[in-house]
Amino acid sequence: MKYFFDSYAVLAYSSGHETYRRYFDENEGVLTKLNLLEIFYRSLEEYNLKVATDLLTSFYKYLIEFDSGDISRAMTLRLELKRKRLNISYADALGYFLSRKIGIKFLTGDPSFERLKGVEFIP
């Protein structure tokens, strides 16, 4: 199976959370450069430059591209979700939109996504 690897999921997996292991070890995944920005920053903040750089290097191979139309539709979706009191980041809105566009599940542990369609929520 293929998943969109949300930043939350990558960070949980990288931190050793066993519930995420099978999703990364047994499946394929994708993410965007915006996710890598979040992952790098959080890793730099919590660990150090070496850990952040290693994560950046190891997840760079999962990158997918997006275009201006994707940005427009993702931000429209973000606004719709915000009006439902789900305040998600720009990167998460884009990732969630792209997962729906390409027909794969959005893998996350972010509680904002728990009840949304097309989400594999792992607490």
Domains in the chain, please, with CATH?
Answer: 2-121 (3.40.50.1010)
Contacts of 88 (CB under 8 A, 6+ apart): 78, 81, 82, 96, 110, 112, 113
- The span from the CA of 72 to the CA of 54, in Å, is 32
User: Looking at the chain, which runs of residues are DSSP E strands?
Assistant: 2-5, 28-30, 105-108, 119-121
Q: pLDDT at position 57, please? A: 96
Relative to beta strand 119-121, strand 28-30 is unpaired
Report pLDDT for 44: 97
Q: pTM here? A: 0.93
pLDDT in tens, 8-65: 999 999 999 999 999 999 999 999 999 999 999 999 999 999 999 999 999 999 999 9
Residue 104's pLDDT is what? Answer: 98
What is the pLDDT confidence band of residue 106, given thresholds at 50, 70 and 90? very high
| Euclidean distance between CA atoms 28 and 77, whole angstroms | 25
